[in-house]
Amino acid sequence: MTVLAYGTNAGDKPLAPMNISRRAPGAHDVQIEIDYCGVCHSDLHQARSEWPGTLYPCVPGHEIIGHVSAVGAGVTRFAVGETVGVGCLVGSCRSCFSCDDGMEQYCEHGFIGTYNGHSTEPPGHTLGGYSQRIVVEDHFVLKIAHKENLAGVAPLLCAGITTYSPLRHWGAGPGKKVGIVGIGGLGHMGIKLSHAMGAHTVAFTTSESKREDAKALGADEVIVSKNADEMKAHGRSFDLIINTVAASHNLDVFVNLLKRDGTMVMCGVPDHPHPAFNVGGLIFKRGTIAGSLIGGIAETQEMLDFCAEKGIWAEIEMIKMQEIEAAFERMRKSDVKYRFVIDNSTIAE
């Protein structure tokens, strides 16, 4: 079937309307009419070929909220009319060590991304949520329990799970002091989730002007990281730091804040390597620098249910599909609070 989408055929071309093909639902497929799609910074990187391996035509989008319009004969968990979500994954091998553990994001053979992933169907790779419709295997479709602000739920499917997963894995909760570095698309969700988990949550920002914004998001304290006195006052006190900054920066200043057995988890991938850090800062307190990548399907569903129970969603700016290029340019300047979300009903305007 042919549907309308927004995509590009080259890294130096703007996103524009294009017709794409979607398969008819197979036995275990769910057909979804897309209502909202969040705009992730990775969409910009991929569309502009700033990351290697972009496949064209490129239709970005992996923060999808929609409603079921058809299901295959073997689908039992979803029914026509239900509100559902699709995140960063639409496939994996389903049989390796990681997939068996419900961690499809670490599939030993490589997960299939919602866009720019391998596909046996034309054009030979997956096409994402900047479109009217998508068809996804039922295992990779998520139930949405939120009853309001569904547009604000869309970014949970990437920004939300990217911060929830390390918070959950490293035990954020009552009695723990957790730092969130960066107050952007990822960081603002990290603050909300850490606070909801019951941890003493501290936000780090380079800008004094963001102090009150961070508190409004749920931060118990806010540290301006350029202020040496503020940083020193929190030395060796953090159990966990979630670092969401996707730019090269000095890691030592944050390693110094970890207590014994503390961990800093890197969630942002910089364009250039971080400066070398002082290994002694880790050795002498058994500290750890770790990495974390989104979450598997089970954990993503857990996150969505947790957010529905706690009344959590992303802070967003809604845009029409035709405004995507302007949104990309504003994202480059970090000029968004805190995530753009496309109203997909506007695609045909």
Q: What is the pLDDT of residues 246-295, one digit of tens each?
A: 889 999 999 999 999 999 999 988 878 888 889 999 999 999 999 999 99
Tell me if 264 sits within 8 A of 258, measured CB to CB: yes
The answer to whether the pTM exceeds 0.85 is yes
The CATH classification of domain 159-291, taken from the options 3.60.10.10, 3.40.50.720, 3.40.50.620, 3.30.70.920? 3.40.50.720
Tell me if 83 sits within 8 A of 69, measured CB to CB: no
**Residues carrying CATH 3.90.180.10, the chain:** 2-158+314-346
Closest CA to 36 of 349, 338, 334, 316: 316
Q: Indicate the pairing of strand 177-181 with strand 238-243.
A: parallel
Give residue 272's pLDDT. Answer: 82
How much of the chain is helix, strand and coil, in % rounded to 5?
30, 30, 45
Residue range 67-76, pLDDT digits in tens: 999 999 999 9
Structurally, what CATH architecture does the domain formed by 2-158+314-346 represent? Answer: Alpha-Beta Complex (3.90)
Residue range 24-36, pLDDT digits in tens: 999 999 999 999 9
Average pLDDT over residues 142-169: 98
**Residues carrying CATH 3.40.50.720, the chain:** 159-291
- Rounded to 10°, the helix 297-310/185-197 angle is 70
Give residue 277's pLDDT. Answer: 87
Give the pLDDT band (50/70/90) at residue 230: very high
Give residue 268's pLDDT. Answer: 86
Q: Which residue has the higher pLDDT, 270 or 316?
A: 316
Residue range 115-126, pLDDT digits in tens: 999 999 999 999
